[in-house]
Amino acid sequence: MKDFAYVRPKNLVEALSFLHEYGHDTKIIAGGTDVVVDLRAGVIKPEYLLDVSRLAELKGIQLRSDGLWVGAGVTLSEIFSSEVLECHAPALKKCAATFASKQIRNVATIGGNVAHCSPCADTIPPLVIHDADVVLASINGIRQLPLEHVVSGPYTCALPDQEIIMGFILKPAAVTHADFQKIGRRKALATARISMSYMARKDFRGKISFFRFSLGACTPTPRQWPMVEELLAGKVPTENLIWKAARLLSEKMIEITGRRSSTVYKEPAIQGLFVKMLYPMV
């Protein structure tokens, strides 16, 4: 590992002042489960490492007037044991269950998972279905951006060096169905080959009155899938209908990525995982 200076600010203001001055040469570290790996591999060579893992301003999970707040410094273990999320963002909670390993969940944060911008990041599909906004802070103040604007490319974060992710504002939703599913090459410590998340509400007639869906590990950046959502909206979910939506989804995915060697698997597997995930609605 290249030598660097370690800085641990006492509070957010101190962190932002530091970033204001040295942001260009600084890498922010929280759980370190991606950053330390990259440091070891020499992928990143910062002058300063700014440790935000203890900033109180980045903590907490609360239902607030503007939405459901999840601090960037919240660990995956905290997400998994959160009763607020169980109630208001169950798919996010579920993704924490199969996230890497216990050791990693204990320190890895949701902010770090998003900022790393891996196309396989497990927290992103659940955040997308909740229309999550990213709350950003710099010495100039606070602003909010949709998640899709922050994750601008594979392992590329659109944020300026002076800015820090404080947390996420999710739209809480009262739904009857929600899930997160992923396909990995083994049952733990697995990188998502495909992940997906949805939440939905069935009305008293059995029709889908609300449906949000997101796909992970297939496209370079997170995105919305309005066509799939529109296809299902207002309809009674049948096995046929779900298969139809599944095929539409894989078509649209291929429109984005083109056909690659991995498409041989991903095309049917996306359909399969979608059907498997939505089957409980039938």
Partner 1 sequence: MDKAYRTIGKSILRTDAVDKVKGLAAFSADIDLSSPPLVLKVFRSGIPHAKIIKIHTEKALAIEGVLRVFTAKDIPGKNLLGIINKDQPLLAADKVRSAADAVALVAAETEEAALKALDAISVEYEKLPAVFSPEDAMAADAPLIHPKGNQLAARFVKKGDVEAIFQQCASVIERTYRTSMVEHNYLEPDAGIGYLDVDGTLVIYASTQNPHYDHKEIVTLLGVPDDKVRIIQATTGGGFGSKLDLNTQGFIGLALYHLKRAVRCVYTREEAYLATAKRHPLTIHMKTGADATGRLRALRAKIICDTGAYGSYGIAVMSRAAVHATGPYAFEAIDVESLCIYTNNPFCGAMRGFGTPQIAFAHESQIDLHAEDLKIDPLQIRLLNALRPGSETATGQVLTHSVGISQCIEAIRPYYESAISQWATAEHHPYKKRGIGVGAMWYGIGNTGVQNPSTARVEMDLSGAVTLYTGCADIGQGSTTILTQILAETLGLSPEQINVVAADTQFTTNAGATSASRQTYISGNAVKDAADKLSDVLRTEAVNKLRVSKKSLVFADGCVAVATNHEKCVDLASLAKRIHAKGAPLVWQGYFDPETVPLSPTDGQGIPYGTYAFACQMAQVVVDVLTGEITVERIVAAHDVGKAIHPENVKGQICGGTAMGIGFALMEEFKPGETKSMKDYVLPTSMDMPEVIPIIIESHEPSGPFGAKGVGEPALIPTAPAILNAISRALNQRIYTLPANLERVLDASIQSGHFAGRKK
Partner 2 sequence: MDQHRVTITFTLNGKSVTMDVPGAMNALTLIRERLKLKGTKEGCGIGECGACTILVEGRAVNACLMLAAQLDGRDVQTVEGLAHEEGLSLLQESFVKHHAVQCGFCTPGLLMSAKALLAENPCPDKAAIAQAISGNICRCTGYQQIFDSIRHATGAPTGEEKT
* Residues engaged in binding partner 2 (CB under 8 A): 1-8, 29, 31-33, 36-37, 39-40, 48-49, 51, 53, 77, 100-104, 106-107, 187-189
Question: d(Cα 12, Cα 124) in Å, to the nearest integer?
Answer: 24
Is residue 255 within 8 Å of 211, Cβ to Cβ? no
Under a CB-based contact definition with an 8 Å cutoff, are residues 127 and 69 in contact?
no
Could you say which of 88, 116, 193, 212 contacts partner 1 (CB under 8 A)?
Answer: 193
Of partner 2, partner 1, none, which one sits near residue 256, judging by CB under 5 to 8 A according to partner kind?
none
37 or 142: whose CB is closer to partner 1?
A: 37
Q: Is 36 in the site for partner 1 (CB under 8 A)?
A: no
Q: Which does 33 bind (CB under 5 to 8 A by kind): partner 2, partner 1, none?
A: partner 2
- Indicate the residue among 7 and 254 with the shorter CB distance to partner 2: 7
104 binds, among partner 1, partner 2, none (CB under 5 to 8 A by kind): partner 2
**What does DSSP say about strands 61-64 and 67-71: parallel, antiparallel, or unpaired?**
antiparallel
b/e per residue 215-238 (b: at least 16 CB within 10 A): bbbbeebbbbbeebbebbeeeebe
* Segment interacting with partner 1, rule: CB under 8 A, options 70-78, 84-92, 140-148, 266-274: 266-274
With residue 26 as reference, give the H or E element that holds it.
strand 26-29
Separation between Cα atoms, residue 128 and residue 112, nearest integer Å:
16
- Total residues at interface with partner 1 (CB under 8 A): 21
Task: Report the distance separating Cα 67 and Cα 46, nearest Å.
Answer: 35
Binding partner of residue 265 among partner 2, partner 1, none, CB cut-off 5 to 8 Å per kind = partner 1
Contacts of 202 (CB under 8 A, 6+ apart): 176, 177, 208, 209, 237, 281
Query: Binding residues for partner 1, per CB under 8 A?
Result: 37, 183, 185-191, 193, 243, 264-265, 268-269, 271-273, 275-276, 279
